Amino acid sequence: MRILEGDGIIKNFGGLAAITNVNFYINQGEILGLIGPNGAGKTTLFNLMSGSLSLTSGVIRFKGENITGLKPHQICKRGMARTFQLVKLFGNMTVLENILLGSLFGTLTGIRQSNALEESLELLEFVGLSGMDGILAKDLTVANQKRLEVARALATKPELLLLDEFMAGLTPTEVSLAIGLIKKIRDKGITVFMIEHVMKAMMSVSDRIIVLHHGEKIAEGIPEEITTNPKVIEIYLGA
Amino acid sequence: MKRAISKKILYPVLLSFIFIIMVMMPPYVSPYTIILLNSIFMYIVLTVSWALFSGPTHYLSLASAAFFGIGIYVSAILGDKLPLLVVIGLGGLISFLLALLVGLSSLRLRGMYFTIFTFGLSELIRHSVQWWEVNRTGTVGRWVIAVDHTTVYYVMLAILLITLVVTYIIKHSKYGLALLSIGESEEAADHIGINVNAMKIITFAISTFFMGATGAIMATRWTYIDPSIAFNPLFSFMPVLMAIFGGIGHIFGQILGAGVLTLLADVLLTKFPYYYMLLYGMILVIVVLFLPKGLTGLKEEAKKWLKVD
Of the two residues B253 and B9, the one the predictor is more confident about is B253
Q: At what angle do helices B196-222 and B149-171 cross, to 10 degrees?
A: 170
Closest Cβ–Cβ partner in B181, B184, B191 for A72: B191
Range of the domain at B214: 2-23+31-239
B280 in a domain, yes or no? no
B97 in a domain, yes or no? yes
Q: Which residue of B has its CA nearest to A91?
A: B184
Per-residue model confidence as pLDDT tens digits over B31-86:
999 999 999 999 999 999 999 999 999 999 999 999 999 999 999 999 999 999 99
**What per-residue confidence (pLDDT) applies to B309?**
56
B258 in a domain, yes or no? no
Shortest Cα distance, chain B CAs vs residue A222, angstroms: 30
Chain A and chain B share a number of CB contacts under 8 A equal to 76
pLDDT band at A8 (very low <50, low <70, confident <90, very high): very high
**Kind and range of the H or E run holding B266:** helix B251-271
Q: Report the predicted TM-score, pTM, of the whole model to 2 decimal places.
A: 0.91
Contact B180 A82 (CB under 8 A): no
Mean pLDDT of A126-145: 95
pLDDT band at B2 (very low <50, low <70, confident <90, very high): very low
**What per-residue confidence (pLDDT) applies to A154?**
97
Of A66, A46, A50, A81, nearest in space to A158 by CA: A81
Pairing label, strands A160-164, A191-195? parallel
Rounded to the nearest 10°, the torsion over CA B34, B36, B38, B42 is -170
Shortest Cα distance, chain B CAs vs residue A193, angstroms: 16
**What per-residue confidence (pLDDT) applies to B1?**
40
Q: Flag whether the ipTM exceeds 0.90.
A: yes
CB-CB neighbors (< 8 A) of B178 in chain A: 101, 104-105
B279 in a domain, yes or no? no
Q: At what angle do helices B31-57 and B149-171 cross, to 10 degrees?
A: 20
> What's the half-sphere exposure (Cβ side, CA atoms, 13 Å) at B183?
19
Closest Cβ–Cβ partner in A71, A89, A97 for B188: A89
Q: What is the DSSP string of B26-63?
A: GGGS-HHHHHHHHHHHHHHHHHHHHHHHHHHH------
Q: Which residues contact B250 (CB under 8 A, 6 or more apart)?
A: B296
Per-residue model confidence as pLDDT tens digits over B227-278:
999 999 999 999 999 999 998 988 999 999 999 999 999 998 888 888 888 8
Q: Does A157 touch chain B (CB under 8 A)?
A: no
pLDDT band at A108 (very low <50, low <70, confident <90, very high): very high
Shortest Cα distance, chain B CAs vs residue A113, angstroms: 8
Preferred mutation among B187, B192, B194 to probe A, highest tally of A CBs within 10 A: B192
B220 in a domain, yes or no? yes
Of B233, B230, B231, B173, nearest in space to B203 by CA: B173
B260 in a domain, yes or no? no
Q: Which residues contact B5 (CB under 8 A, 6 or more apart)?
A: none
B114 in a domain, yes or no? yes
pLDDT band at B6 (very low <50, low <70, confident <90, very high): low
State the CATH architecture for A2-79+158-237.
3-Layer(aba) Sandwich (3.40)
Shortest Cα distance, chain B CAs vs residue A76, angstroms: 5
What is the tally of structural domains in chain B? 1
Pair B190, B108: CB distance under 8 Å? no
Cα B33 from Cα B14, distance rounded (Å):
22
Pairing label, strands B142-143, A16-27? unpaired
Domain boundaries, chain A: 2-79+158-237
